[in-house]
Structure 1
Amino acid sequence: MKRPEAIIFDMDGTLFKTETLLIPVYHQVFDQLRLEGLYSGETPPEEIILSCLGMLLDQIWKKVLPNHDEVVHLRADELLLQLEHEGLQEYATELYPRVAETLMKLREHGVRLFVASNGLELYVKDVAETHKIISLFEGVYSAGEHKTKSKVELVRLLLDNHGVNNAWMVGDRSSDVEAGQKNGQTVIGCAYAGFGAGIELDGADVLITSFDELIQLYDEAF
């Protein structure tokens, strides 16, 4: 593989062990929706929300709450953002093993590091700040901030804004694979999170089973 000038990372399921925050917050969201009379019945299975990681929020609620209207979806959005912000201080959330150390080593090698996430701006930056990795990134891009309609569009904007020609796109979902491929970049698929179906990473140039494998890949690239 060609050695990259920059590496672009997805957040959920790539850098951040999302379920350490999302699962307790997910149940809080539905508890509040029930209190407000916007939802009744049991909370949808956790597997549904986990399978939606990597999607835009409006797509997520259409899948989690397919029989509810936009009013409920928008309120769920508000609650999710508020409770995730609070939960990052309340819960013992985690990055994947050796994420911080690996990012620091890549920076020492002169690699420009970025985040590109389909999440909301406050959430994505909150995670990076809480886990003290935000200073390692030259840019933290989110669909929420830039109002992009796909990860392809978000990555194209990032590449253009920062004059990046040769990058690795690192992520765990099909949207990351598509974003790398359609922007002409190498795709590293993260097979350690286990979200979604096995076909999620079809088309990735390389699969890794632990985050720190990126160092060996970088060292072996030319």
Structure 2
Amino acid sequence: MRKSVIFDMDGTLFQTNKILELSLEDTFNYLKSLGKWDGHTPIEKYREIMGVPLPEVWETLLPNHTMKIREEVNQYFLETLVENIHRGKGALYPHVESILTHLKENDYSLFIASNGLTTYLEAIVTQYHLDRWVSEVFSIEQIQTLNKSDLVKRIIDKYDVKAGAVVGDRLSDIKAAKENGLISIGCRFDFAKEEELSQADFVVNDLMELENLLIKK
């Protein structure tokens, strides 16, 4: 029986922290230019909630702003993220290409399920040629509920996944695995929280550890 691995993108495959501060700073400077923000860029607050869908991000960071302003900011932020990706400001985590190659060579089907928006995910896939290994990338935009568990279920249903794992750094990834009968593997990377990782079946500090967890089983 062929197995599958479903990866999160931000904080799992892609080092979002390398472009996060740049893009967020630029976005809040834009808000200041509109006279809609006064103060420091809430980078630490964003780090705390990293991994949630963007509508929830702006509800948290801009609780007193209108929906129209949030949507405008969301679009500006997305465009800035994509620009920084194409300018080579981001990076994959160490050994991403190696582990994806090993998994593919061992007949694993590989997917990405992310709370990121489609345009953003496509920019990362294009920049780093992830389509060499990944069968399909799924964005939270495709799910009305904005729930990672439902997004993973869509992959399972579409590709008739019978066994496998979800690899990610946040609780939403761990829950998505458990609620769909898959192995949960937490990544102790930039945005991970120990209280969330404690709920995973396994935790890795480096993606190459997946070789022992998955391939050599």
Q: Deviations over 1:126-184 (max 9, x none)?
A: 11211121231111001124444200110011110111111100000000011001111
Question: Cα offset for 1:111?
Answer: 0.4
Query: Paired residue for 1:34?
Result: 32
1:82 aligned onto 2:76: no
Code of the aligned partner of 1:195 = F
Question: Cα offset for 1:72?
Answer: 2.0
Code of the aligned partner of 2:9 = M
Which runs of 4 or more aligned residues in structure 1 lie more than 6 Å from their structure 2 counterparts after TM superposition?
none
1:203 aligned onto 2:199: yes
Do the aligned partners of 2:138 and 2:151 also contact (CA within 8 Å) in 1? Answer: yes
Do the aligned partners of 1:33 and 1:39 also contact (CA within 8 Å) in 2? Answer: yes
Structure 1 residues 196, 73: CA separation in 2 closer, same or farther (over 3 Å shift)?
A: farther
Unaligned runs of 5+ in 2: none
Could you tell me how far apart the structure 1 residues matched to 2:103 and 2:192 are?
28
Do the aligned partners of 2:6 and 2:166 also contact (CA within 8 Å) in 1? Answer: yes
RMSD: 1.6
Report SS of the residue matched to 2:85: helix
1:178 aligned onto 2:175: yes
Query: Paired residue for 2:157?
Result: 160
Question: Cα offset for 1:14?
Answer: 0.4
Residues 1-222 of structure 1: matches in 2 within 5 Å?
5-44=3-42, 46-191=43-188, 193-221=189-217
Could you tell me how far apart the structure 1 residues matched to 2:82 and 2:215 are?
37
**Higher deviation after alignment, 17-26 or 47-56:** 47-56
Could you tell me how far apart the structure 2 residues matched to 1:109 and 1:56 are?
33
Identity of aligned residues (%): 32
Could you tell me how far apart the structure 1 residues matched to 2:212 and 2:34 are?
51
Q: How many residue pairs align between the two structures?
A: 217
Could you tell me how far apart the structure 1 residues matched to 2:34 and 2:131 are?
36
Unaligned runs of 5+ in 1: none
TM-score, with length taken from structure 2: 0.94
Report SS of the residue matched to 2:39: coil
Q: Deviations over 1:50-107 (max 9, x none)?
A: 2222101111112222222212211111011111111112243111101011101110
Do the aligned partners of 2:14 and 2:92 also contact (CA within 8 Å) in 1? Answer: yes
Do the aligned partners of 1:4 and 1:168 also contact (CA within 8 Å) in 2? Answer: no
Could you tell me how far apart the structure 2 residues matched to 1:162 and 1:62 are?
34
Question: Cα offset for 1:4?
Answer: 6.6
